[in-house]
Chains A and B, each alone.
Chain A
Amino acid sequence: MAQEAALEADAAAVMRPSQSLTRRVMRQVVRKKLAMLAVAYLVVFYTAGIFAPLVAPHDPNQQDRAIEARLQGPSADHWFGTDRLGRDLLSRVIYAARTTILFTVAVSITGGLFLGLGLGLLAGYRGGWIDTLIMRVGEVLSGLPTLFIMLALTAAFRTRIDSLSQDLRDTWLGDDAKTLLQFTIIVGASVPFAWIGSSRVVRSQALYLREADFVVAAELMGASTWRVITRHILPGVMPLFIVGLTAGMAGIAGAEVALSFLGLGISPPTASFGTLIGDGAGVRTFQASPHLLLAASVPVILFFFAWNLLGDALVDILDPRMTPR
């Protein structure tokens, strides 16, 4: 939240036409060791998640009900141990990473790219009543108890998907139908709140660029609105948009984990950090098998932390007051 405010305040000061912003940012990120560590972790996380079937040592849904196979601690065969049903936890964590990645990508594209960037450009470039409408609605939405509204929406829709998922089961989707519907519901509940931060950042930058000489020149030469936006405004807006998205990524991913933890997101057997943590959470469970909670939560906590660190570093670099030169 503080990041967005800082970005907004200094959006105008950020652009220095003489320098390539992207290159300057890349150079400074490399110089920041913590940010580099964060990037390294994210690379590992995303690689493992995207290539889950290749990386996972076991089938994440392969149960082993034998009493000695269940709730094993970490071993050479099962690095993170096994869960209540004898499933390999490392494999489940890797597949949960995949769920997190899919969810963040879906929300970033719909809420961030389409709504955030689109509405931000519209508000900043067009101005007038469209600008007022978009910004005021965003202002009210951002002040709401988001998680509660998401709870109410997801809970109401979840009861309705059973029959629909039965119908879809006969199509090519098969058993994935229910997961897909649950996924759609939580994406749908997240999107209305996911565009606000990035649209503000984009808007203030677009407002500034609208007055820039090269934009005015393009307009005078008769360039269409579409051309002005895509060729002249968009390139200047993109870096800040990416920073805004980076700063909000942990929050987006956190929504899925929290909803799944509460039983309102992705439900088992599909692996999600929320349900994995839910399996290990509880004082008695933690006392008896601490590996359940630790194996499920440490990877996703590091994921949140890495995105936050990266966002913090990027804001710091882009904010001229913050960078000692």
Chain B
Amino acid sequence: MGPGLLAYTIRRVLWAIPVLFAISIIVFWVLRLAPGDPVDSLMGTRYNDETAAAVRKKYGYDEPVYIQYVKYMQNLSHGDLGVSTRHQGFTVSEVIWPKIKVSSQLGAMALVITFALGIPIGVYAALARGTFLDPLTISFWLALDAVPAFVVIPIAQYYLAVKMGWVGLGWEGVWSPNAILPVVIMSLPGVAGVARFMRASVISVMAEDYVRTARAKGLRERTIVITHITRNALLPMITVIGLSLPGITAGALFTEQYFGIPGIARESLAAVTAPDFDVVLALVLFGSTLFVIANIVIDVSYAIIDPRVRVGTRRG
């Protein structure tokens, strides 16, 4: 890692920190200012005011919001994410980690499928440029992208599970055949984006001098497409991984809900509606931090594998 790259990495990290803090403050305030504080959901509807006040005091909800925030951040720095009110007797860490594991495994599989489909489709569309096959291919995947997960899931569940009986609908773990349908449904909407990016990348590589040289040398078209064009066009695709993450998580929300998957997206929806304050906070903070780190890692590794990208200098 050269000095320019190191400076770039540090600058990205330094910018991410205040923005993440701002998000944590906004979300904390919005959640704490909402009526029906955690004690309400903790104690149900029947309780006397004294007990409620005692519980409020115990968890510190009787203090001003900014003091609560400071305490929350202090606990967070020790790895204490607070307690769940929806799952009584469990800490937030106990609630979220097993679910994060399930969701990240499914999400990673979906991401692999998205790229495994999108990259060849993009190459195909780029090579077919000028014919009707190019817009037709891209439009087909754009159409799939337009179908929301919550529409396609009941239809797929009905035809594939109820009518044809090909897959079961019950959740039997990440490595069971019943996980195939949810993973495929999560992966398909992103294909259009990957394919379009790959198409643009291939088209710009096709105009490079070394491709013309390869042609002039009389190399086989197959060799040119695979080793000269596709391999070089793949480099910028690494940045698309970061761009695909929000879409995959949004899809996971509905997929986990419909298929009864004990994942983090489903938990977050339940936590938001409960409301289970500390779980919501932990998820927003954890999710945001993870995504920010992922994007920084991706951009830096792109700069490492493709030295032509000069991240130290800005365009314009």
Q: Do A and B come from one complex?
A: yes
Contact (Cβ within 8 A) A321 B150: no
Q: In the bound complex, do residue B151 and residue A322 qualify as a contact, i.e. CB atoms below 8 Å apart?
A: no
The answer, yes or no, to whether A269 is at the interface (CB within 8 Å) is: no
Inter-subunit contact A152/B272 (CB<8 Å): yes
**B204 near A: Cβ within 8 Å?**
yes
User: Once bound together, how far apart are the Cα atoms of A2 and B125, in whole Å?
Assistant: 15
B31 on the A face (CB < 8 A):
yes
Q: Are A324 and B129 in contact (CB under 8 A)?
A: yes
A257 CB-CB contact with B under 8 Å: yes
Tell me the nearest residue of chain A to B135, going by C-beta. A34
A268 to B165, CA, bound (A): 35
Per-position contact with B for A255-270: 1 when CB-CB < 8 Å, else 0?
A: 0011001111000000
Residues of chain B with a CB closer than 8 A to A286's CB: 154-155, 158
Q: Which residues of A contact B294 (CB under 8 A)?
A: 143
Cross-chain contact B146 with A250 (CB below 8 angstroms): yes
What B residues does A144 contact at CB under 8 A?
A: 23, 246, 287-288, 291-292
Say yes or no: A34-B31 contact (C-beta < 8 A), given A145-B291, A286-B158: no
**A324 nearest CB neighbor, chain B only:** B130
- What chain B residues lie within 8 Å of A321 (beta carbons)? 200, 203-204, 207
Q: Does A254 lie at the interface of the complex (its beta carbon under 8 Å from any beta carbon of B)?
A: yes
Residues in B274-316 with C-beta less than 8 Å from chain A:
275, 280, 283-284, 287-288, 291-292, 294-295, 315-316
> Knowing A152-B284, A156-B34 touch, does A305 contact B130 (C-beta < 8 A)?
no
B contacts with A, residue count (CB < 8 A): 67
Instruction: Assess whether A148 is in contact with B154, with CB atoms less than 8 Å apart.
Output: no
Report yes or no: A312 in contact with B27, Cβ–Cβ below 8 A. no
- Of chain B, the residue at the smallest CB distance from A154 is B272
Q: Tell me how many residues of A have a C-beta within 8 Å of chain B.
A: 60
Measured CA separation A6–B239 after assembly (Å): 13
- Report whether B253 and A147 are in contact in the complex, using a CB–CB cutoff of 8 Å: yes
Complexed CA–CA distance, A170 and B130 (Å) = 62
**Bound form: Cα–Cα A156–B280 in Å:** 10
Q: Say whether B292 contacts A143, CB under 8 Å.
A: yes
B157 CB contacts on chain A under 8 angstroms = 283
**A136 contacts the other chain (Cβ, under 8 Å)?**
yes
Bound complex: CA of A277 vs CA of B243, how far in Å? 27
Flag whether A30 is at the interface (Cβ < 8 A).
no
In Å, the complex CA distance between A147 and B268 comes to: 11
A207 within 8 A of B: yes
Segment of B14-22, B51-59, B176-184, B209-217 engaged in the interface with chain A:
B14-22
From A2, A151, A257, A282, give the contact of B197 (CB < 8 A). A2
Q: Tell me whether A301 and B16 are in contact in the complex, defined as CB-CB below 8 angstroms, given that A144-B246, A155-B273 are known contacts.
A: no
Flag if A149 contacts B288 (CB, 8 Å). yes
Contact with A along B146-189 (1 / 0, CB 8 A): 11101101110110011000000100000000000000000000
How would residues 133 to 166 of chain A score, 1 for a CB under 8 Å from any chain B CB and 0 otherwise? 0001101110111111101110111011000000
Known contacts A140-B15, A286-B158, A309-B139: A145-B246 contact under CB 8 Å: yes
A residues within 8 Å of B by Cβ? 1-3, 5-6, 32, 34, 136-137, 139-141, 143-149, 151-153, 155-157, 159-160, 204, 207-208, 250, 254, 257-258, 261-264, 277-278, 280-283, 285-287, 293, 297, 301-302, 304-305, 308-309, 312, 319, 321-322, 324
A-B CB contact pairs (8 Å), 27 listed? A136-B15, A137-B15, A139-B295, A140-B15, A145-B245, A147-B250, A147-B253, A148-B249, A148-B253, A148-B265, A148-B287, A149-B23, A151-B269, A254-B148, A257-B148, A258-B148, A262-B269, A277-B148, A281-B151, A281-B153, A283-B161, A286-B154, A297-B147, A297-B148, A308-B145, A321-B204, A322-B203
Closest 4 CB pairs of A and B: A304-B146, A2-B197, A305-B146, A207-B316
Given contacts A152-B31, A277-B151, 9 further A-B contacts (CB under 8 A): A6-B200, A136-B19, A139-B15, A155-B272, A156-B31, A160-B35, A283-B154, A283-B161, A297-B147
Binding site for A on B (CB under 8 A): 15-16, 19-20, 23, 27, 30-31, 33-36, 129-130, 135, 138-139, 142-143, 145-148, 150-151, 153-155, 157-158, 161-162, 169, 192-194, 196-197, 200, 203-204, 207, 240, 242-243, 245-246, 249-250, 253, 265, 268-269, 272-273, 275, 280, 283-284, 287-288, 291-292, 294-295, 315-316
